[in-house]
Amino acid sequence: MPAEWERHEATWISWPHREGVSFPGYYDAVIPTFVAMAKAIGASEILRINVRDGHQEQEIKKKLSPHIPSEHLEFYKIKTQEPWCRDHGPIFVRCKKTGQLIIIDWNYNAWGEKYLPFDDDNAVPSQIADLLDLSCFKPNMILEGGSIDVNGAGALLTTESCLLNKNRNPTLSRQEIEIQLKHYLGVNQIIWLGDGIEGDDTDGHIDDITRFVAEATVITVVEENKSDPNHLPLQKNRELLQKMTLSDGRSLNIVELPMPPGIEREGQRLPASYANFYITNHSVLLPTFAVSSDKTAIGILTDLFPTRTIIPIDCRELIWGLGAFHCLTQQQPVAIRPTGRIEV
């Protein structure tokens, strides 16, 4: 599995719909954030959008066509329940023998059957494989894309709170899960962290707490306020990272990223995190929350990605859906050789 900063052919997203459960009562309020995200991605690479029907396609085209070159905007009639394409979309890997792309179609159960139904979302990867004429492999295991992060050189980050949760794969041991990850994603090392952040309904996705930004560099969120419920679990994760070495013996270079002040809506703590950024070919989409720590986060990412433009986008409405830009996107890496189905 290539790292996110490697060259993309395209980015996939699934457009939300008014009847979904992600933005109750706030659908109209959140659409401008989707448009801003789409414009930023479309300026850098092809944006491939899953839509329910022709009517939704035309509605979105009116919003995006004035801002995105036509050659960077594609629509696919693939029905989804919710817009979190990182989790229900395909994971693209490259075949070591040929350089061609392969789709890994992990099972999806809406984060432990928290939201029903999820059958349309679960069917997305195989439909994309058919449309792109790519080989598709189906591990007998539930996995969301937001629960893993790779450095493209053999290492994978994840959390015990999510992957070992019995609402995902109750019959699989930790060792069996590691075997599946190594086999299908081409990694040789699993780096396990502990718990995720408060308000995260995914049981602790890694993309809200710690991300690779280079082969041996991770960025990890920390909470300085000791009275905040995120302080202790994030501190423990920071300590685990400090003890880790990569399989080639290198220690991890750890960069700290602040957490924004706690955000609540209707009595619910929301999982706002600067770690949920998305890396495009030319930019980094950074969720911001109209607080003073936004500027600090922008500065840190600017230093880490000197060849990319940092694009801060206000996510105070989007975070009501309990996710941000990384949760909404799925990168399709460039194939080293022409695409097509292969036998492996």
263 domain residue, yes or no = yes
Q: What is the full per-residue pLDDT of the chain (344 aa) written as tens digits? A: 999 999 999 999 999 999 999 998 899 999 999 999 999 999 999 999 999 999 999 999 999 999 999 999 999 999 999 999 999 999 999 998 889 999 999 999 999 999 999 999 999 999 999 999 999 999 999 999 999 999 999 999 999 999 999 999 999 999 999 999 999 999 999 999 999 999 999 999 999 999 999 999 999 999 999 999 999 999 999 999 999 999 999 999 999 999 999 999 999 999 999 999 999 999 999 999 999 999 999 999 999 999 999 999 999 999 999 999 999 999 999 987 655 665 55
Catalytic, out of 85, 162, 315, 327 = 327
pLDDT of residue 337: 65
The sheet with strand 189-193 has its strands ordered as: 149-150, 155-159, 189-193
Of 275, 150, 259, the closest CA to residue 214 belongs to 150
Q: Among 284, 274, 294, which residue's Cα sits nearest to residue 230? A: 274
Alpha carbons 148 and 212: distance in angstroms, whole number: 10
Q: How far apart are CA 211 and CA 319, in angstroms?
A: 19
Residues 159/209, Cβ–Cβ less than 8 Å = yes
Q: Report if residue 32 sits inside a domain.
A: yes
Number of domains present in the structure of the chain: 1
The residue type of 162 is: C
Print the domain residue range for 57.
Answer: 8-333
Query: What's 316's DSSP letter?
Result: T
* Domain presence at residue 33: yes
- 18 SS3 class: coil
Catalogue the E-assigned strands of 113-188. 135-137, 149-150, 155-159
In a domain, 169, yes or no: yes
Note whether residue 211 is domain-resident.
yes
Please, are residues 179 and 165 in contact by the beta-carbon 8 Å criterion?
Answer: no
Helices vs. strands in the chain: H and E counts, helices first: 11, 18
- Of 304, 266, 310, 254, the closest CA to residue 287 belongs to 310
- Quick one: which H or E segment has residue 42? helix 27-42
DSSP 167-234: TT-TT--HHHHHHHHHHHH--SEEEEE----TT-TTS--GGGTEEEEETTEEEEEE---TTSTTHHHH
In a domain, 320, yes or no: yes
- Residue 3 belongs to a domain: no
Q: Judge whether 327 counts as a catalytic residue.
A: yes
Q: What is the CATH number of the domain that holds 64?
A: 3.75.10.10
- Asked whether residue 1 is assigned to any structural domain, the reply reads no
Strands 149-150 and 155-159: antiparallel
